[in-house]
Amino acid sequence: KDQPASSDAVYDGLRQRNAAIEARCPELKREDSPSERVGARPSSGFAEASHAVPMLSLGNAFEDSDVTDFVKRVRKFLNVKEDEAMAFTSEPKIDGLSANL
């Protein structure tokens, strides 16, 4: 229980490959596709909770270009010019953890 069969990197790579196949061949997309769900069923010790605003999943960054694209989207959203400094903080990822603050 709660023992993944593969590493996060392998799993993320397979999800990315699945999404690419579904984008190229939408007729192959299944109703139970991993691209249509977020996370796994919670362990039995946790109670269900409703959220007024949906909790969304963040995308993964596999290439430098993924990070560059993210920074461009943040700049656009915040209306920060290309020549203005921006600072980011990164921390280790803890899989399976969600927080609604």
pLDDT greater at residue 22 or residue 5: 22
Backbone angles phi, psi at 44, to 5 degrees: -65, -15
Output the pLDDT for position 23.
94
Kindly state the helix (H) or strand (E) to which residue 72 belongs, with its residue range: helix 64-78
Better-predicted residue by pLDDT, 13 or 44:
13
Q: Is the pLDDT of residue 38 over 90?
A: no
pTM: predicted TM-score of the whole model, two decimal places: 0.50
- What CA–CA distance (Å, rounded) separates 11 from 4? 9
Model confidence band, residue 61 (pLDDT cutoffs 50, 70, 90):
confident
Q: What is the pLDDT of residue 58?
A: 62
Q: What angle do CA 80, 59, 36 make, to 5 degrees?
A: 135
Q: Which residues are catalytic?
A: 93
